[in-house]
Each structure stands twice: as structure tokens, then as C-alpha cells.
Amino acid sequence: MSKIKAMDFYRKIPRDLTEATHFGALVSICAALLMILLFGMELNDYLSVRTESSIIVDRSVDGDLLRINFNLSFPALSCEFASVDVSDAMGNHRVNLTKTVRKYPLDKNGRIVGDVVRDLPEPKYEELLHDIQETHIEKKPEEVKIMDTLDAATFPEAIKKYPILMVNFYAPWCPWSRRLAPVWESAAQVMLRKFPPEDGRIKLAKVDCTVEGLLCRGHHIQGFPSIRVFRSGVDMLDHGHHHDHESYVGDRTVEAIVEFAEKLIPAAAASGVKALPMADAEAAAQTMKVGAPGCSVEGFVLVKKVPGNLHISAHSQKHSFNNGVMNMTHVVHHLSFGKEISRNKWAMVQRLHPDGLLNAWSNRLKGRVFFSTEANITHEHYTQVVMTSVEPRTFGIVEVGYNRVDLYEYTHHSHAIKTDEMPMTKFSFDPSPMQVLVKEKPRHFYHFITTVCAIIGGVFTVAGIADSTVFHTAKLFKKVELGKQY
């Protein structure tokens, strides 16, 4: 035991051999306060977040997809023809995406005025020549007018006169309009035989949009041919010049058109009745509300991480368009890249990377309006996309990268160009091959303990040296004073 006792580094001095002083007490209090202060500062530093940022080559693997989120408003593009298309540098091209895209009709003030516009199949056309129309019906006397060609003056009168008016808006230069012309005339003949003029419940007519351009634009005709269904007393008369009518989107055959028209007519005569109800659910399924001139397009698409384009334009395989009247003015409510993250993950990102990943950069086009000041204008937006990955510490419980959050920012440049082709709105995206990696860098606990020991030992030692120096200096002065007295 005596040998073990000899290894004591902290030999004790009897209390009777020590001396307490007022200055020593003051130094001890100051040293204790300094230790507490330095300990608190070191603890705060130990608990604070430390990150390490670096720029590395994009870690994405082949097959990873980039999500593009968008919410756009087109005041002059009908939802009937609005199409979202995607193409990329690898040759992939997808047309009229509908699975993750929603379209809502907009009024002239930019407000949503209806339910989501459903995607409909392209109508089938019947091959019918003018010289075989008589196979569908018996010929009518020459004095009976089969088809009315309406103009700006006779159109309102026809709406008031007939409870149901079906109008074919066409353009003579359009091949689909020429293909529909004999079918439409034959259907009109069939309906004229079944419902003669004195019946007065339904009428089939047509409008030449190359002659009546203002009338067609007033009814938001953007593709040819377009078949509209008007109901007496609804269009413009009760809605303050708001065009509330349907577009027939069924097959372009005599049988289909006649069957649809018959289902529109109630069982009893209802001449003059406003807003006739749809007499058959199947007929209702063959129409689309087109009273609103604009369209809100929102949703997301998944693309490969290679340069590509997102287009929004008018598209149809069974219609023709007049490029000169297509107006691609649009408002960008939202455009961002990547998946939306939860509030907890966003709070983590703000904690680890507070000076980066600002909403102003992740959604730079928010609220921007782009006008088409003349005809045949295409709007192009070029974006360069940079990914930032934020990795919190995992404490070794889960694999590295499990809690990683990938966020995207982008730069933006826009311009409008005049084109001879179909006007469109195009977003070009170019993912960067580099990415920013932000990793939480933890401080080891043994560093904290080492620093705390250094603080305590250092302050104690320095305070002891100061106290000893003052004590012995004061004692020396006392001896000098006593020597002078003797």
C-alpha cells in the first residue's frame, strides 16, 4: 500500500499550513466565472451545425428521372386543343401527356370556371362523297333549304329561333373541313327529314370562318372543323356575353352525328324553352364545355436528366389550325424541378444550408407574364438546372445518403420569336453535369472533452500563478517595510 501511496500525484497539504487571502478569494471567483463562460461557449460551439460544401460530378445513375413541376395559365388557348409535349436530346418525344397533367378552363379574367377537362380520343371521320349523299335519305324538294350558312347577322337570330342549334365552324382550306362537309350536309338532310322546319326543335348549320373571322374568334374557334352545340336563351343572352356552349367531340360520321343530335331533343316538343337538359348521358359524354377562352395547365412530367424541351401548344390529329390567330400569351404561376419535400426536410435544409436554396431561385419565374404582341409568336424559356444535395449526419444508424435531400435551382433566360410554324410556349431545360454537395460535419466528442479540460486546467493554472505572484509580491513589500523600520 505504501508503494501505491507513493504514486499519488495530488499530495495533500494540511489545512493549517495554508493561508487564505481576500485577493485569492477574488481571483477564485473570477476564475470560476471565466470557466463557466468558456465552458458555455465551447458547448454552444460543439452543438452548433457545421457543414462542408463541395462541387462534385453529378451522382445520378442511368435511368434517374428529373421531375418538372408547372402551373401555367393561357388566356387565349382552349383546353380542347392544349397539349403538353416533351422531347429530349436522346430522341425521345412524347405528345399530349395527360396522366400527370390537368387542364381547367379559364374565363377572360383568368379564373377557373369549370372542372378538369377530360382527355378524349380523336374522332373518326367517314369517307363520304357528295354524289352518294342520297343513299342516306330521300331527296328533298329543291325549294327546301337543307343547310343554312350563318353570318354575323343571322347567327344570333338562329340561336333565338331554335332551342338546339348545331353549327359546323369550318375553313375551306382545311382538309378535315372538306372531309366533314359531305358528312355534315348528309346529316343535316337526315335531320331535316325527321324534324322538318315546322317542328322547330333543332337545326344544323355552318359558318365559314374565312369569311366570318370575327364571329369565329368571338366563339373561341381555334381548330377546324369545330362543331358547337348552342341552346336557346343561354349563349350571350343570359350570361352577359359569356359564351356558354358545348363542343361536339364524337365521331364525324352521319350515323354518329344524327344519333347525337336526336339524343339532344327532349321527348316532348319544347320550342322556346331555355337551357334544354341533355336527354341522354351518352350524348353528354360526347360534348365538352368550351365557354371559357383560356386554359390553366398544371401538373408534372418526368424526363431523363439530359437536355430537352417541354412544349405547350395547340395539337390535334384531326383538326387544322390557323397559325395567325394562335395567341400563346401565358402566365407562369409555378415552375420548379424535383420532388416536393416535407416540412421537416425543408426545416433540415434550412438548418444545414441557410444561405442557399432560396425559393427565389428554385421558382424564378413565379408570377411572370409573357405577352404575344403580334401574330405567330413563340415564347422560348431557357433554363440551366443545378442540383444541390444536402446530407445530414446519420450517427452510423443508417447508410450514408439515406436522408439526403436533392433540391434544384435554375437560371432563366426568355425571348419571343416570330415563326411560320405553329406558335408554342417552349421551356428548354439543361441539367448541369456538376452538383453541389452539402454535408453535415459533426464534431467528435473527445475534442469537446479535451477542450473543456484545457479550459478548466488552463484557467485554474493561470489564476493560481496570478494569485501566487500577487501574494509573494505583497509579502516581499512587507519585508522591505519591516527592514526600513529597523
Query: What DSSP string runs through 253-284?
Result: SHHHHHHHHHHHS-SS--TT-SSPPPS-HHHH
Q: How big is the chain by its Cα radius of gyration, in Å?
A: 41
pLDDT of res. 292: 64
Q: What is the rounded average pLDDT of the residues 49-68? A: 86
To the query of whether residue 174 is one of the catalytic residues in this protein, the response is yes
Mean pLDDT, range 463-473, rounded to an integer: 85
**Active-site residue among 79, 174, 216, 295?**
174
In the block, which residue shows the cell 412530367?
A: 301
Phi, psi at 220, each rounded to 5°:
60, 40
Instruction: Give the lowest-confidence range in 65-74, 159-168, 288-297, 396-405.
Output: 396-405
The pLDDT of residue 269: 44
Q: Please give the share of the chain, as a percent, with pLDDT higher than 90.
A: 34
Alpha carbon 448 to its chain centroid, in Å, reads 47
357-372: average pLDDT: 82
Handedness of CA 435, 440, 446, 451 (dihedral sign): positive
Picking from 47, 58, 40, 55, the residue whose alpha carbon sits closest to that of residue 351 is: 47
- Write the DSSP string, 424-442: EEEEEEEEEEEEEEEEE-P
CA atoms within 13 A on the CB side of 370: 25
Mean pLDDT of the chain: 81
pLDDT at 10: 65
Across 158-162, 222-226, 306-310, 312-316, the highest mean pLDDT is recorded for 306-310
Work out the average pLDDT over 371-389.
Answer: 92
Dist. CA 362–CA 436, nearest whole Å:
14
Q: What is the mean pLDDT of residues 411-419?
A: 92
Q: Which of 10-14, 75-79, 278-282 has the lowest mean pLDDT?
A: 278-282
At 45, is the secondary structure helix, strand, or coil?
helix
Nearest to 257 by CA among 343, 325, 166: 166
Residue 343 phi, psi (nearest 5): -65, -35
Q: Is 198 exposed, middle or buried (0-12, 13-18, 19+ CB in 10 A)?
A: exposed
